[in-house]
Amino acid sequence: MTTRPDPQVLVVGAGPVGLVAGAELARRSVRVRVIDKLGQPTDQSRAIAVHPRSLDMFDRMGIVDELVSTGIKAIAMQLYAGHTKLFRVPLGEVDSAFPFTLTTAQTETERVLNDHLESLGVSVERGVELIALDQDAEGVRVTLRREDGSTEECSASWVIGADGGHSVVRKMVGTKLAGSFVGERFLLADVDAEHQLDLDSMHTFFAPDGPVVVLPMADGRMRFLAEVHDAQLNMNPTQDELQTILDRRIGGIRVLRSHWLTGFEIHHARVPAYRWGRVFLAGDAAHIHSPAGGQGMNTGMQDAFNLAWKLAAVIDGKAGDTLLDSYEAERLPVADGVIAFTDRLTKAGTLSGLPRRIRDVAIRMVSRVPAARRFMAENATEVNLSYQNSPVAVGRRPGRAKVSAGEHLPHVVEAEVQKQLGAVLGPDTGHVILTIAGAHVAPAAGDRGHTQVLVTTDCTPVAGYDAVIADPKGVVGQRFGLSDGGLVVIRPDSYIGAIATLHDTTTIADYFATVRS
């Protein structure tokens, strides 16, 4: 009987968050185990909105086309007060190669991720429960229990708790969620319905009784998410109860058949820290908030995407505690922002503190301001997230640069150039140093420990570069604000680690020194 080696990382939880973590670790040749207490994957659609920044993530993972094929694209958000449309926010100008929100059942997101994980040689171990955890400076010792009652003891160098809002890992490291525990109650429904709503948009209806969010789904289904008062909530709501809410708050919608109806309560809270020694918390194990903005699953998956490459770099001996600690420094403020955003959305939807007529006039006035529409689109789709205050965002914005260290890699509209850039970044699991030659002769390639890519207007080959991107119109330099050339360190999660002028000999070196510290 062969005994398999202990994993370097144990991932607890095989929802979207745990699957992203497992896949990104496996893609970097980390020995990883992914376990889940449930014997089978969920059959409930649950979270269905996948926003552009998450689609950028899936693109880097190499599975975005498969995921997009499972759902439909929402290219706008529309806001209403009862029957009256207040305004429409187009998503086509957000800074992403995917200027839309994909609506697809969570079951499909998990299926695509699970297939990807298995293609990397890792299978989820289902019906396996974590029942004990102990750690020291050398590693983590855990006890696992299977459905037949048998137990197993094993060790791991690191543990990622991605086991949801009732996280066992969170409890075992001795922390808990802290925040607002008044609780918001919601009715969630996936139904077939007769309606006149645009199928290419997400819809939010404001009403005195609470907001209703509506998202079209594949196969003609519609997702309704309605906040309800305590007295209204039935934890097992009926189709008639849903119809009553829709008649009162929206009108013009007739529910034909229900696929899934449920009631639930949610709080706004997070843990005080994301790292506990050799244990990390991600997704709902670390933060919970209203589903009104459709950002919960997205935030959790991006937690995992942020953490996995950093943990892999440490395991590989290429990084130190500064990089690991940057996980919390970068992602905890994101959770705070999501909590604040969903809280504001809920208050706006219930007219809290503002008469309806005044609110509607104010919203219409704001809708006429292009910057306000852009801000709403970027906030809802999460493309404005940045890590500029991160301990590993190195260097000031050089000269007339349009991007800074800590911001996400901008999308280049020129299709052929973006295609070349994507062909380099997609398979790469490490840092990429992008040298934009501009009108100058490119310098010799730098640190050979990282992929070197040259962007040049005349496609002149220069020794030492792993790839050369032809950019005859200089669109990359223009997009970055580096028309005279520059150096950009692209992190494995597509955020910018450092940016410098062509002949800056210190900033790039300082970035990698910080990562290794």
| One domain, residues 202 and 158 | no
Which of 268, 298, 325 is the endpoint of a domain?
268
The pLDDT assigned to 81 comes to: 81
Closest CA to 301 of 19, 103, 13: 19
Q: Which of 146-150, 189-193, 218-222, 489-493 has the lowest mean pLDDT?
A: 218-222
Residue whose entry in the numeric block shows the structure tokens 């708790």: 161
Residue 370, pLDDT score: 64
| Mean pLDDT for the stretch of residues 364-373 | 63
Residues 203 and 186 grouped into a single domain: yes
How many CA within 13 A on the CB side of residue 130? 31
Question: At 232, is the pLDDT very low, low, confident or very high (cuts 50, 70, 90)?
Answer: low
Residue by residue, DSSP assigns 125-146 as EESEEEEEEEE-SS-EEEEEEE
Give pTM, 2 decimals.
0.93
In the sheet that holds 128-135, the strands lie side by side as: 128-135, 140-146, 151-156
Q: Is the pLDDT of residue 365 over 90?
A: no
Question: For residue range 94-151, what is the model confidence (pLDDT) as tens digits?
Answer: 999 999 999 999 999 999 999 999 999 999 999 999 999 999 999 999 999 999 999 9
The count of residues in the chain is: 517
Q: What pLDDT score does 360 carry?
A: 61
C-beta separation of 307 from 21 below 8 A: yes
User: Residue 151: inside a domain, yes or no?
Assistant: yes
Confidence of residue 235 (pLDDT cuts 50, 70, 90): confident
Is position 370 within any domain?
no
Domain count, the chain: 3
Same domain, 259 and 322: no
Q: Which of 311, 344, 331, 430 lies closest to 53 in space, CA to CA?
A: 331
Residue 449 lies in a domain: yes
Please list, in sequence order, all residues whose beta carbon lies within 8 angstroms of the beta carbon of residue 514, skipping any fewer than 6 positions away: 322, 391, 392, 394
Helices (H) then strands (E): counts for the chain: 13, 25
Classify 478 as helix, strand or coil: helix
226, 223, 230: which is closest to 205 by C-alpha? 226
Asked whether residue 441 falls in the same domain as residue 300, the answer is no
Higher pLDDT among residues 439 and 126, named by residue: 126
Residue 300 sits in the same domain as residue 436: no
Which range marks the domain in which residue 338 is found?
Answer: 9-48+105-177+271-345
In a domain, 421, yes or no: yes
Q: How far is it, in rounded angstroms, from Cα 182 to Cα 514?
A: 42
Instruction: Clarify whether residues 320 and 432 are in a common domain.
Output: no
Structural contact between residues 473 and 439, judged by C-beta atoms closer than 8 angstroms: no
Res 5: pLDDT: 86
Residues 119 and 256 in one domain: no
Residue 242 domain flag: yes
Q: Residues 318, 241: one domain?
A: no
Q: Checking DSSP bridges between strand 101-103 and strand 125-126, what pairing results, if any?
A: unpaired
| pLDDT of amino acid 234 | 64
pLDDT (mean) for 174-202? 88
At residue 117, the pLDDT reads 98
Tokens 């299709």 — which residue?
415
Tell me, what DSSP letter sits at residue 149? S
- By CB atoms closer than 10 A (0-12, 13-18, 19+), residue 271 is buried
| Least confident range of 192-206, 396-410, 484-498 | 396-410
- Residues 387-429: tens digit of each pLDDT: 999 999 997 787 778 899 999 999 998 999 999 999 999 889 9
Closest CA to 80 of 466, 359, 423: 359
Q: Are 122 and 26 in contact (CB under 8 A)?
A: yes
Q: Determine the pLDDT at residue 106.
A: 94
Q: Is residue 361 part of a domain?
A: no
- For residue 309, the tally of other CB atoms under 10 A from its CB is 22
Mean pLDDT, rounded, of the chain:
89
Which H/E stretch holds residue 276? strand 275-276
Q: Residue 457: pLDDT band by 50, 70, 90 thresholds?
A: confident
Q: Classify residue 378: in a domain, yes or no.
A: no
Measured CA to CA, the distance from residue 294 to residue 204 in angstroms comes to: 11
DSSP lists the bridge partners of residue 345 as: none
Q: Which residue has the higher pLDDT, 289 or 353?
A: 289
Residues 446 and 444: their CA atoms lie apart, in Å, by 6
Q: Which residue has the tokens 């050369």?
A: 468
Both 29 and 116 in one domain: the answer is yes
CA distance 342 to 510: 38
Domain closes at, from 244, 268, 292: 268
Q: What is the largest CA-CA distance in the chain?
A: 74
Residues 167, 308 within the same domain: yes
The CATH number assigned to the domain holding 437 equals 3.40.30.20
- Quick one: pLDDT at residue 410? 94
- Cα–Cα dist 36/114, whole Å: 13
> Which of residues 345, 376, 407 is at a domain's end?
345
Q: Are 412 and 425 in contact (CB under 8 A)?
A: no
Share of the chain above pLDDT 90, in %: 67
pLDDT band at 377 (very low <50, low <70, confident <90, very high): confident
Q: What percent of the chain clears pLDDT 70, i.e. is strictly above it?
A: 90
Q: What's residue 364's pLDDT?
A: 62
Same domain flag for 221 and 129: no
pLDDT higher for 485 or 124? 124
pLDDT of 339 over the 70 cut: yes
- By DSSP bridging, strand 158-161 and strand 178-194 are unpaired
pLDDT of res. 209: 82
Contact assessment for residue 487 and residue 508, using Cβ atoms and an 8 Å cutoff: yes
Task: Examine the domain organization and report whether 148 and 211 are in the same domain.
Answer: no
CA torsion sign for 253, 254, 260, 262 is positive
Among 90, 46, 106, 77, which residue's Cα sits nearest to residue 345? 77
* pLDDT, position 46: 84
**CATH number of the domain bearing residue 33:** 3.50.50.60
Range with the poorest average pLDDT among 16-25, 237-246, 283-292, 315-324: 283-292
Query: Which amino acid makes up residue 488?
Result: V
pLDDT for 1: 39
Residue 258: its H or E element: strand 254-270
CATH number of residue 250's parent domain: 3.30.9.10
**Does residue 395 lie in a domain region?**
no
Quote the CA–CA distance of 171 and 133 in Å, as a whole number.
Answer: 10
Give the per-residue pLDDT at 372.
67
pLDDT tens digits, residue range 245-303? 999 999 999 999 999 998 888 778 899 999 999 999 999 999 998 776 678 899 999 99
d(CA 156, CA 33): 9
CA distances from 114 to 22, 30, 36, 67, 161 (A): 9, 17, 13, 12, 18
Please say if the pLDDT value at position 346 is more than 70: no
Closest by CA to 494, choosing from 94, 29, 52, 53, is: 53
Q: How confident is the model at residue 44 (pLDDT cuts 50, 70, 90)?
A: confident
For the cut 80, the answer to whether the pLDDT of residue 505 exceeds it is no
